[in-house]
Amino acid sequence: MKGEKGCESRHIDDEVLYQAFVDVFNAMIENRDYFMEKCRDRLVSGNVLVRYKSKQLLETISGAERVTEFDVDLYFSMVEKVTVYEGGRLIVNLFDGTEVECAME
């Protein structure tokens, strides 16, 4: 309709989202023991997909090193969605149910 306001979402550059994933992944590597324990806890979930994705995430982070650039295959193997909030806050939801918060740079 004429004069009706449309979507109020603002544009976020891909590079910002790529860097957010790099930051989240590196935070997971820096806190590997914590995230590995979370994965192990989810290995007994009643949800078969959560168990599968937790096992996959556990294998991914157990021997991983920090990354310096975005890796599309790594991203799609781990991330279910990224939610962007006002004030530059992002929540990265992983397939196993883990949520990691970070700030846009």
Domain-wise residue ranges, the chain:
14-103
pLDDT digits (tens, 9 = 90+) for 43-101: 999 999 999 999 999 999 999 999 999 999 999 999 999 998 888 889 999 988 899 99
What SS3 state is found at 81?
Answer: strand
Residue 15: DSSP 8-state: H
Q: Could you give the 3-state DSSP secondary structure of residue 66?
A: coil
Rounded distance between C-alpha atoms, residue 31 and residue 86, angstroms = 27
Cα radius of gyration rounded to whole Å, the chain:
16
Which helix (H) or strand (E) segment is 85 a member of?
strand 79-85
Element holding 89 (H helix, E strand): strand 89-94
